[in-house]
């Protein structure tokens, strides 16, 4: 920050995935940083990313080609300026990760000495990867850097509750963020954390659905908290369903990476018939929304619980070398992918909308920044192009850190403590678990891959009843992680449904039987509250 920060409060980053750690590492040489992780530091979404990260690196690639691929996947709603900005900085993002020590799969003949693969929607090979566990390799590397940095304090099992804003200080001034109320889960105590800036990097909302590839942490916390504080939210109707989640009674959230199809794996019915040619000329390499809808169609048409992804023709040696994580995990579950096709189903995977930010991570609320899957920058449009997500985390993480660094410094301010004077300990935890289960089933049945207006209206009605029950519970009892997550899931579910109801067309990830056509032109769906509030 541009004045002396000797007396300044730290920057508080909520979320310890790639987005949060990128911001932290770019700020820590000049500012104290506190990073909060709701569960363990290894339990976020980043470490589950198998495929890789986009880099415009090779001679047969270009920024314009990457922008075009992003726009095609985004079905007419990509912000071209955002796509170009992020593509232009993709090479620098890869170089930074290499400099941090990320062990990408090498290729002596490849650009930067890296092996590049190809995924659905990409016209060329441009995906840098670390075998089939890219996210894990990146996250472990950056987390080790953060642990070693003297200016970064890492707090496990801490969860943001709400922001501390001007309203809490009873100030007559434009709304501003001054810190965050955060729950120390182990101590069962909410503390007030003053902050020079707060960064939301909490990931997406996948846990609103019954079936998802997301970790337990993906409960929409950052989106819900920012919404309650008065920030705009955009494009929440566009929830990406990954076409190929492993279908298995024991393992319900194991992702089978897009890269396996990129290397030639084929989708088949149980009788061995390939079916993607009936749905798109790009077949298995069509964008994810098309592949997911095709699988959903074939499952319903034939009364199937799953379809099959056949990689046997790629050979055991190739599969072990390029997809060791998938090979090993499937083998543990009794599936030898070199000799058996993999049973797969679509599952909620990525949130393409979120908190509206600029390309420096600024939200509508001064002092509050957001980065990664929590946000809407305009990059993903109506459907995310594979492997653009990790890239966005690094590029916007760096620019957000620069914006925080250059922001006007505010002296530390005494903030009010969390008020628990009117609440008591709960003795009815079953209310939370019941409402959680009902919400996720409602979202899966009524707000899934194929939607109708009637289904959406039913979902909205039920969500609001559950929200009212949960708000009453929240007002009476001390908070815990389950209650806070349910509260946030209900908020984000309502945002998804309201956004879906307002889009009278089918586009990208949003498909409505009542509006099966795509309009000649369309705009992002932007929801706004009438006034700032942290209640």
Q: Is the per-residue pLDDT at 5 higher than 90?
A: no
Q: Of all helices (H) and strands (E), which one includes residue 63? A: helix 63-73
Catalytic (active-site) positions: 288
Structure confidence at residue 354 as a pLDDT band (50, 70, 90): very high
Mean pLDDT of 512-522: 95
Residue 6, pLDDT > 60, answer: no
Tell me if 238 sits within 8 A of 352, measured CB to CB.
yes
Side-chain-side CA neighbours of 524 within 13 Å: the count stands at 24
Mean pLDDT along residues 40-68: 89
Specify the range with the lowest mean pLDDT, choosing from 167-181, 335-349, 408-422.
408-422
List where CATH 3.90.700.10 sits in the chain: 242-348
Strand 233-234 to 33-37 pairing = unpaired
Average pLDDT on 228-251 reads 93
98 vs 5, residue with greater confidence: 98
Q: Which pLDDT value is given to residue 527? A: 98
Indicate the average pLDDT of the chain: 92
Which of 146, 138, 189 shows the shortest CA–CA distance to 35? 146
Least confident of 25-29, 475-479, 509-513: 475-479
Q: Dihedrals φ, ψ of 177, to 5°? A: -95, 130
Compute the C-alpha angle 425/431/437, nearest 5°. 135
pLDDT score recorded for residue 173: 80
Across the range 326-351, mean pLDDT stands at 95
Binned at pLDDT 50, 70 and 90, residue 412 comes out as low
Flag whether pLDDT at 283 surpasses 90. Answer: yes
Residue 441 CA to residue 210 CA, distance in Å, equals 6
The closest of 274, 249, 245 to 346, measured between CA atoms, is: 245
Average pLDDT over residues 227-247: 95
Residue 157 has pLDDT above 50, yes or no: yes
Across 57-71, 411-425, 428-442, least confident range? 411-425
Number of H helices and E strands in the chain, helices first, is: 15, 19
Neighbours of 415 (CB within 10 A): 18
Q: In this predicted structure, which of 277-281, 302-306, 415-419, 480-484 has the lowest mean pLDDT? A: 415-419
pLDDT surpassing 90 at residue 524: yes
Q: Of the segments 247-261, 293-307, 453-467, which one has the largest average pLDDT value? A: 453-467
Residue 14 tokens, joined: 């909520």
At residue 381, does pLDDT exceed 80? yes
Say what the pLDDT of residue 7 is: 67
Q: Would you call 371 helix, strand, or coil by DSSP? A: coil
CATH number 3.90.700.10 given to 242-348: yes
Domain with CATH 3.50.50.60 in the chain: 1-238+352-408
Which CATH architecture is the domain 1-238+352-408 placed in? Answer: 3-Layer(bba) Sandwich (3.50)
Query: pTM of this prediction?
Result: 0.89
Percent of the chain whose predicted confidence (pLDDT) is above 90 = 75
Q: CB count, 10 Å around CB of 456? A: 22
Mean pLDDT of 3-20: 83
Lowest mean pLDDT among 11-25, 208-222, 246-260: 246-260
**Separation of alpha carbons 447 and 453, rounded Å:** 10
Of residues 166 and 1, which shows the higher confidence score? 166
For residue 167, pLDDT over 90 is answered with: no
Q: Identify the bridge partners of residue 165 per DSSP, sorted by sequence position.
A: 177
Supply φ then ψ for residue 70, to 5 degrees.
Answer: -65, -40
Is 46:104 a contact under the CB 8 Å cutoff? no
Q: 430-516: which CATH topology? A: Methane Monooxygenase Hydroxylase; Chain G, domain 1 (1.20.58)
DSSP letter for each residue of 75-140: TT---HHHHHHHHHTHHHHHHHHHHHT--PPB-TTSGGGB-EE--TT-SS--EE-STT-HHHHHHH
d(CA 110, CA 126): 10
Q: Indicate whether 535 pLDDT > 50.
A: no
**The pLDDT of residue 410:** 66
Pairing of strands 33-37, 11-14: parallel
Does residue 427 surpass a pLDDT of 70?
Answer: no
What confidence tens digit (pLDDT) does each residue in 490-508 have? 999 999 999 999 999 999 9
Please report how the helices 388-406 and 80-88 are oriented relative to each other, as an axis angle in degrees rounded to 10. 90
**Average pLDDT for 253-265:** 89
Mean pLDDT of 69-77: 95
What is residue 11's predicted lDDT score, i.e. its pLDDT?
96
């Amino acid at each position: 920050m541009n004045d002396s920060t000797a007396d300044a409060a730290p920057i508080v980053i909520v979320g310890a995935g790639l987005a949060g750690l990128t911001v932290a590492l770019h700020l820590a040489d000049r500012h104290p940083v506190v990073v909060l992780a709701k569960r363990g530091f290894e339990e976020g979404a980043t470490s589950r990313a198998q495929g890789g990260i986009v880099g415009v690196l090779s001679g047969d690639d270009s920024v314009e080609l990457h922008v075009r691929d992003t726009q095609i996947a985004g079905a007419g709603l990509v912000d071209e300026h955002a796509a170009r900005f992020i593509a232009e900085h993709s090479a620098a993002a890869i170089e930074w990760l290499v400099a941090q020590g990320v062990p990408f799969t090498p290729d002596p003949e490849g650009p930067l000495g890296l092996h590049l693969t190809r995924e659905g929607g990409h016209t060329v090979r441009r995906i840098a990867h670390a075998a089939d566990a890219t996210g894990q390799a990146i996250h472990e590397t950056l987390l080790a850097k953060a642990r070693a940095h003297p200016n970064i304090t890492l707090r496990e099992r801490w969860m943001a509750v709400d922001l501390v804003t001007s309203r809490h200080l009873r100030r007559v001034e434009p709304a501003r963020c001054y810190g965050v109320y955060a729950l120390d889960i182990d101590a069962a105590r909410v503390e007030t954390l003053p902050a020079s800036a707060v960064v939301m990097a909490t990931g997406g909302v996948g846990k609103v659905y019954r079936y998802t590839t997301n970790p337990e942490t993906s409960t929409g916390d950052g989106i819900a908290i920012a919404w309650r504080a008065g920030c705009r939210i955009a494009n929440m109707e566009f929830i990406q369903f990954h076409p190929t989640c492993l279908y298995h009674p024991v393992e319900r959230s194991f992702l089978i990476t897009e890269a396996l199809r990129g290397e030639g794996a084929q989708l088949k019915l149980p009788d061995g018939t390939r079916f993607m040619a009936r749905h798109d000329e790009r077949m298995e390499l069509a964008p994810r929304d098309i592949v997911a809808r095709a699988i959903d169609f074939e499952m319903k048409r034939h009364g199937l619980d799953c379809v099959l992804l056949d990689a046997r023709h790629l050979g055991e040696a190739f599969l072990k070398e390029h997809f060791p994580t998938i090979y090993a995990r499937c083998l543990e579950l009794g599936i030898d992918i070199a000799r058996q096709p993999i049973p797969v189903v679509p599952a909620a995977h990525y949130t393409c909308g979120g908190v509206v930010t600029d390309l420096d991570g600024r939200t509508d609320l001064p002092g509050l920044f957001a980065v990664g899957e929590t946000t809407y920058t305009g990059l993903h449009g109506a459907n995310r192009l594979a492997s653009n997500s990790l890239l966005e985390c690094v590029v916007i993480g760096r620019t957000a850190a620069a914006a925080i660094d250059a922001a006007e410094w505010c002296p530390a301010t005494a903030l009010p403590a969390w008020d628990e004077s009117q609440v008591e300990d709960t003795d009815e935890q079953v209310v939370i678990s019941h409402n959680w289960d009902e919400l996720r089933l409602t979202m899966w049945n009524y707000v899934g891959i194929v939607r109708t207006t009637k289904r959406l209206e039913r979902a909205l009605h039920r969500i609001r009843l559950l929200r009212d029950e949960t708000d009453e519970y929240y007002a009476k009892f001390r908070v815990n992680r389950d209650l806070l997550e349910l509260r946030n899931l209900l908020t984000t579910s309502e945002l998804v449904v309201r956004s879906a109801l307002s889009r009278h067309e089918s586009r990208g990830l949003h498909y409505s039987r009542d509006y099966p056509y795509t309009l000649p032109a369309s705009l992002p769906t932007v929801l706004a509250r009438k006034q700032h509030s942290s209640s």
